[in-house]
Amino acid sequence: MWRLIVLAVLLIIMYFLVRNAVRGFFQKRQDVVRAGSGGSSELVQDPVCGMFVPKEGAYFIRNADRTHFFCGESCRNIYEKKVSSA
């Protein structure tokens, strides 16, 4: 009889551990989604291809008046050439 009770308690502990792990996983996923859709990292438009990119980690050129953000190095190079030729 005691063995059954110990087994039941172990199952309950395992159930809570698994539930917490699953909940933690989903909370982390929500944080990722939140960070991608605004929140701390703001979306900025690439003036070359028109794509919206998160400000954090984006390629950029700092001009005298403002900062331009780009989706990648290629777009930044295109913009740089355009500015230098103008």
CA separation for the pair 62, 77 (Å, rounded): 13
Does residue number 49 form part of the binding site for Zn ion (CB under 5 A)? yes
Does residue number 71 form part of the binding site for Zn ion (CB under 5 A)? yes
Does residue number 75 form part of the binding site for Zn ion (CB under 5 A)? yes
Does residue number 58 form part of the binding site for Zn ion (CB under 5 A)? no
Contact 55, 41 (CB under 8 A): yes
CB of 51 to Zn ion, least distance (A): 5
Nearest to 48 by CA among 28, 76, 27: 76
CB of 53 to Zn ion, least distance (A): 8
Task: Tell which one of 44, 46, 58, 68 touches Zn ion (CB under 5 A).
Answer: 46
39-43-49 Cα angle (round to 5): 165
Contact 78, 62 (CB under 8 A): no
C-beta of 50 vs 66, nearer to Zn ion: 50
Footprint of Zn ion (CB under 5 A): 46, 48-49, 51, 71, 75
